[in-house]
Structure 1
């Protein structure tokens, strides 16, 4: 195992000091919670009062002002009864963020539930919950500056695409295929630029910005009987036109994947799930025809952007060979380009 894959943990003395700052009740059980980033130490703490998650933020995610922005947003949403795990304040001053030395800690209530099962009801509910989120934060004015930038028309994304090729040249899968690798990377860069340009030509830069979640995907939701009982992880929240969120959510909830052999993955987007997601959203916050037009363009951008960080770090994506993964992305991008018109919603659709 690579050392970077070792999950962060709490030291016993560290844990005792942190828990002394909270009034969680009589502790019955403490166990590891191996979910999410392996860089963030997490524990489930069961007490006579309730069940909680204790988290130590990893380096790079511990800027106090960014944490304060995310916490203020969550506290605002909690006041509006939006489904999310409530932050637990410290014993002394009810602060949602505990800072000890260079480390920042958080405690959340634990929400029981299950993962996304790819069914049509949870897909619809995921879209509907995003619509509710956007409605609630539409006029939210934070005292903290929202982080800048999204995956759309981002210079950082455009410039990082060729760097994936540099990383992948050293992998066995690219041996003797350098010309093919170069062509793949060049195509991805061209598709990204064309999709971003087309979205901008459709008027996206002029659309009103608001707070978005920016990481709306199945792993950030807890479900129960097809309904969303909690939305988690607000670290990526920022300000942008809402359609940037909608398109990424539509992509994440309509992806068609497969086994470890990405060459066998289908090209298509699951349009039944995509439409159900968009229908759910539309019932809470009406989608415009202009937004529906740019959604497949933004989905192309998001599909490319999400591959960059893991491939640059490891040459892989979720353990899959990076070169093979990019070849598969080209097929899915071609499908999105050829089927952009199918994202229009039929007003008669249920």
Structure 2
């Protein structure tokens, strides 16, 4: 197949006739074989391992509210790709519940099909992401390659108001928290930034970040009302604690944001960043990163926003059970390995001013990631929201008290 191209993001108008992963064992238990050509007769329901549209749960009725493909939809979508004989199809319930995914086994290899989630399906935003991925592919950066459509080799398929993407499926293992894997993750971020430093796209990227974000500030103030509405008994019992927590978190976020602005970050050069650099978006073989995934959040920002969040994600310490018992400190060894490996890439040395923003941006990133889910549901995934925010307070307090140490560890 020739090198694929970013599709012109003009919406499709063709009407219908009537949204962190270990490689799964293959085949899976309920997988059936299929022997159909992807570009010819289509796929019959009984031969792809999925029930027909009449018996399969409707979209939104999968386990835990996860959206799913229906067989007819898969048949139409796969007819636009030339993958040879399709041997098997299997639902791939990973990542966003609003973005259905399926593994496709063919004679030519293993592929991952994804339908973009609503709200993440602006064609121009997708075009920005795809153009970036194709640029990185040209530079031999480790990522899953986009597969083009058969007719015109486009990187996205627009059908009936929906956007589909097909990727090669890369076998890998998750991050194991080792120092070598941590260093490799920092080095690959440095390589990413080097390769995107001068990259410019004809498409407009998404905007915003976790720094000084109005959405984060609004979420913080919403939390008490959410808990009062959804968890009234807890709100009554913990009223004072909840409001004290929110006051602390709001002050900490605003203080960190103001200090970053004072240091001058908003005047620093901007470039394309990944904006979601965390262990769940890395695939490894041994201690080597073989793929960085998920470019949906890529945008143009100061690189230090990527670095600070990445350093936090690869050094933060969690636990099980009660989050208030989790360690408040960072794993200093992993933090140092990540940062030093980043700077081992040519032309990536951080300035003193950039280093000084790292603990402040870590505070902002930690708060931003935590408060929005709690503001929506009163919980953080399945964890008690108030306990989770108490953990955040503990970690933020540590970062406030040890900011000079966090900065100095990079140069030790």
Instruction: Give TM-score, length-normalised by structure 1.
Output: 0.96
- 1 or 2 for the larger relative contact order (CA 8 Å, sep ≥6)? 1
The answer (yes or no) to whether the contact 2:68–2:100 under 8 Å persists in 1 is yes
Q: For 1:57-96, what aligned pairs fall within 5 Å after superposition?
A: 57-96=116-155
Give matches, 1:169-318, under 5 Å. 169=228, 170=231, 172-284=233-345, 285-318=348-381
Q: Is contact 1:212-1:237 (8 Å) kept? A: yes
Correspondence 1:6 to 2:65: yes
The 2-side partners of 1:345 and 1:72 are apart by 38
Q: Secondary structure at the match of 2:291?
A: strand
SS in 2 for 1:54: strand
Q: Distance in 2 between matches of 1:38 and 1:173?
A: 28
Q: From 167, 174, 177, give the equivalent of 1:118.
A: 177
Give the direction of change, closer, same or farther, for the CA distance of 1:2–1:272 in structure 2 (3 Å limit): farther
In 1, Cα distance between equivalents of 2:198 and 2:156: 25
- Conserved? CA contact 1:275–1:345, under 8 Å: no
User: Which one has the largest radius of gyration?
Assistant: 2
1:149 aligns with 2:208: yes
| Higher mean C-alpha displacement, 223-232 vs 305-314 | 305-314
Higher helix share: 1
Residue matched to 2:84: 25
Deviates more, 1:158-167 or 1:121-130: 158-167
Deviation at 1:72, TM superposition (A): 0.6
1:48 aligns with 2:107: yes
Deviation at 1:32, TM superposition (A): 1.4
In 1, Cα distance between equivalents of 2:74 and 2:173: 28
Deviations 1:258-300 (Å, cap 9, x if unpaired)? 0021121111111111111101111111122211111000000
> Paired residue for 1:127?
186
State how far apart, in whole Å, the 2-side matches of 1:171 and 1:223 are: 45
Count matched residues.
Answer: 349
1:303-342 matched pairs, under 5 angstroms: 303-342=366-405
Partners of 1:48 and 1:60 in 2: how far apart?
A: 34
Q: Work out whether residues 171 and 315 of structure 1, in 8 Å CA contact, stay in contact via their aligned partners in 2.
A: no
What secondary structure sits across from 2:135 in the alignment?
helix
Of stretches 68-77 and 158-167 in structure 1, the one that deviates more from structure 2 is 158-167
Counterpart in the other structure of 1:168: 227
Structure-2 separation of matches of 1:21 and 1:176: 57
* Structure 2 counterpart SS, 1:296: helix
- C-alpha distance in 2, partners of 1:124/1:140? 25
Q: Aligned equivalents of 2:322 and 2:182: distance in 1?
A: 26
Report if aligned partners of 2:263, 2:353 keep a CA contact under 8 Å in 1.
yes
Measure how far apart 1:83 and its partner are: 0.4
Distance in 1 between residues matched to 2:267 and 2:92, nearest whole Å: 43
The equivalent of 2:44 in structure 1 is none
Q: 1:4 to 1:195 in 2, by over 3 A?
A: farther
Structure 2, unaligned stretches of length 5 or more? 1-59
Contact 2:359 2:399 in 1 (8 A): yes
Deviation at 1:3, TM superposition (A): 8.2
Q: Distance in 2 between matches of 1:237 and 1:293?
A: 24
Shift of 1:172: 4.4
Q: What secondary structure sits across from 1:199 in the alignment? A: helix
Aligned with 2:148: secondary structure? Answer: coil
**1:156 to partner: Cα distance:** 1.9
